[in-house]
Structures are given as C-alpha cells and as structure tokens.
Amino acid sequence: MLAIECIDVAKSFRPEGDSPFRRKRGKVAALQGISFAMPEGECFGILGPNGSGKSTLIRLMCTLLLPDSGQMRVFGRDVVTAPQEVRRLIHRVSVEASFFKKLSAQENLDYAAGLYGLDRQTARRRAQEILDRLGLPRAKYRAPLEEMSRGQQQKVAIARALLTSPTLLLLDEPTTGLDPRSRRDVQAFVEDIRRDYRASIVLCTHDMQEAQRLCDRVAVLRDGRFVALDTPEELAAAHGGGQGLEGAFLALTGEDPNDEGELDA
C-alpha cells in the first residue's frame, strides 16, 4: 500500500505585502508539478535549499494547506475531500514546535492525550518511556517548557507526536539547531520507531549525514520542482563528484546544505 501518492501537485502564494484590493501582481509558485509515490514503511527524505518548497509540501500532506491543482492521497485518503481521516493518520514534528510554554512537559502531553481521547495514565507511561529513550532527564518532566533548552523541547515534541502511534510521521527539520548529542538521540529514536512500529516517515532535513543514515530514498527539491529522486547512495554516485550526498546536493541545487539561513517556505 502507498503511504503517500502525489500526482502533479502545484501550490502558489500571493507575494508578501500584496493586497487583494490592489491590482494583482501575480502569484509566486511554491510547488510546480510534484509527483511521487511513497510505499508504506519507507523513510522518504526531502532535501532542498531554503525557499525551495519543502515545508509547503509537508503542510499539504498534513492538510494545513490545500493544493491549487493535482492530487495528494495519504493511505488512499484524499487530503482535500477527506482531511479529517488524513489527520487521524499523521503527526508532524516541525523545527518550531508549538507548546504552552508556561506549562510543564507532563501538562503539555496530558493536554495532547486528552485531545486524542487517550487514557491519561497510559499516555503518561508511554510518554515517559519515549522521553527516557530520548535521554530527557526525568527532573525536566515537570519543569515549564520555557525553562528547557531547544533540544529538550524538541524531544517533548517527538513524544507528543508518538503518543497516538501515528501511521505517518512528518518530520520537518526535527534536528535543526540541536546539539550533536541531541541530534544523535533523535536520529537513533527514529530508527527505533521504524524497527518497532514500521512507521512511514517523511523527513525534511539540511543534514546530509542524517539523510544518508535514515532515508531509503531522497528527493531533491529546487524552485518548487523535484530535480532528482533516488537512494542516497545512487544520488551520491551520480551527482556527488566524490563528495558524497553533500556534493550531490550542491551540484543539483547550487546551494550549500550547511547554510540553514531563514526557515523554509
């Protein structure tokens, strides 16, 4: 079964500062004719420079945006005609996780469990198991989120995503800004999720080593279009010039993958 089927999807936006009451200056294309099929159980990587459309594509998958044209289905459910069914199957972890910052990790996770109708005690036990595996100190579990580091908050975001055992996990630059140890903790846990739950995962990342380690296939996105799609090894061999996946990224996009710059569109 296909976890995601994307057929000729396009999405455009009005330029920032433009007004519907003024003469239209034309829309800016964020995605142009994106097509791919992702089998169930795969970890599918999306690489691209800032502004290439990675986050737009993720937002379409989780129904936060609707495509202007084309079709996108998640486990056979259309994101336009069956958004509620799609939302029950997915969870997203983004580079900027949203929380009630004055509340503790436990209180935030209790709230999330309640939204999904989960038993509080069962959810607390599961959340603690996940946070233990991610290396979050237990003393932090009842501390306000605003007192946690960026890496610790991201670990809580991952625990929140996994409380409901989502069928599809959308990881939108989940390790950006984390220290090396936290990055390794998160990457190891993603491997555990795949092994233990056979979850389907979409991973947007700037980290070429992360993509090489975790992804079965990688798509390179430039100016709203896929310019390459293959295994990390094949992309490196075909385009890397002896510099591995990082060399392939540079050759295909003309950008340095280590230049994280502004958050992606």
Alpha helix positions (H), the chain? 54-61, 83-89, 105-115, 120-133, 150-162, 180-197, 208-214, 232-239, 244-253
Distance CA 251, CA 256 (A): 10
Greatest alpha-carbon span in the chain: 57
Distance CA 179, CA 24 (A): 44
Calculate the CA dihedral of residues 258, 226, 204, 4 and round it to 10 degrees.
-170
Write the CB contacts of 22 (distance below 8 Å, at least 6 apart in sequence): none
Q: Binning pLDDT at 50, 70 and 90, where does residue 262 land?
A: very low
* Residue pLDDT, tens place only, 182-206: 788 888 888 888 887 788 999 999 8
Structural domains in the chain, CATH included, are 2-96+166-253 (3.40.50.300)
Q: The dihedral of CA 77, 81, 85, 87: what is its sign?
A: positive
Distance CA 119, CA 43 (A): 30
Instruction: Tell me which of 242 and 175 has the higher pLDDT.
Output: 242
Instruction: Tell me which of 96 and 105 has the higher pLDDT.
Output: 105
Exposed/middle/buried for 130, CB within 10 Å: 0-12, 13-18, 19+?
buried
Q: What is the mean pLDDT of residues 226-238?
A: 96
Q: The dihedral of CA 108, 111, 116, 122: what is its sign?
A: positive
pLDDT of residue 132: 84
* Residue pLDDT, tens place only, 144-194: 888 888 778 888 888 887 777 668 989 988 887 777 887 888 888 888 888
Distance CA 49, CA 121 (A): 42
